[in-house]
Structures are given as C-alpha cells and as structure tokens.
Amino acid sequence: MTYKTDLSRVQGLGRAGEGVHHFWTQRLTSVALVPLTVLFLIPFGRALGGGHEALVATYGQFGHALTAILFIAVACWHFAIGIQVVIEDYVHGATKVALIVLAKLFSAVLGAAGVLAVATLLF
C-alpha cells in the first residue's frame, strides 16, 4: 500500500524539460538518412576492396567526401539518440545513466573519427 498521491508519483518523471525535441530529432535525422544512405553506399561499395588508389580517387572528390561526412555524422547522431531510448526501456537506475553516457561517448568518438578521416582524404 502506498500513500502517495497520483501527482507525487509522476512528479519529475515527465517530459524532462525538453518536450518533443528527442522524438523530433529522431525523425529529422531519419529523414535526412534516406537520401544520405543511398548517396553514401554507391561510391563506398565501388571503392571497397580497390586499394588505396580507389579510396583516394573516390574521396578526393568533394561531393563524395561531403556525402560521406554527412552520412557518418547524421548516422552517429541518429544512433546515439536511438540507443538511448533502447537503454531507457530495458535498463534502470545508475546502470542506465552509465550505459547512456558510454553509448553517447562511443557515438561521438566514432562520428568524429569518421568525419576527420574522410576530411583528411579530401585534403
């Protein structure tokens, strides 16, 4: 038996002060990833297995480098907020916080490394 009122039970569990921002960012990044996925996969698939010459020939082109950078950055962003929802659904307490921080760090490092590497290939 609990003597808490309905209000006190839900207080502090609400919209976390950011409204639909998380949901909206998830949708926006997924819309952006529709064309970016296609634009990334075609040159990547052709350069794969072709050695360093094929890599430089592909990503030395501004357009291919730009779509690769956008794809990597947006995909890592989409992954970071997507895996956050999965963790929030299945893990609770301090473990939840630790896992979300780790997942976001992982996404940030992976995204930064990918963007920096493609930029290096262009210049």
Partner 1 sequence: MADVNRGNRPLSPHLQVYRLPLVANISILTRITGIAMMAGGVLIVWWFVAGAYSPEYFAVADGLLSSWFGKVVLIGSLWALWFHFANGIRHFFWDFGKGFELPTVARTNWLVIGASVVLTVLTLLLV
Tell which residue, 69, 90, 87, has the closest CA to residue 79.
Answer: 87
CA distance 80 to 103: 6
Q: If DSSP codes are grouped into helix, strand and coil, which group holds residue 115?
A: helix
* CB closer to partner 1 out of 6 and 16: 6
Size of the site for partner 1 (CB under 8 A): 41
Measured from the CB atom, the residue of 17 and 83 that comes closer to partner 1 is 83
Applying CB under 8 A, which of residues 68, 70, 74, 100 lies at the interface with partner 1? 68
Binding segment for partner 1 (CB under 8 A), chosen from 1-9, 11-19, 91-99, is 1-9
Which of 83, 91, 96, 99: binder of partner 1 (CB under 8 A)?
A: 83
Q: Which residues contact 69 (CB under 8 A, 6 or more apart)?
A: 114, 115, 118, 119
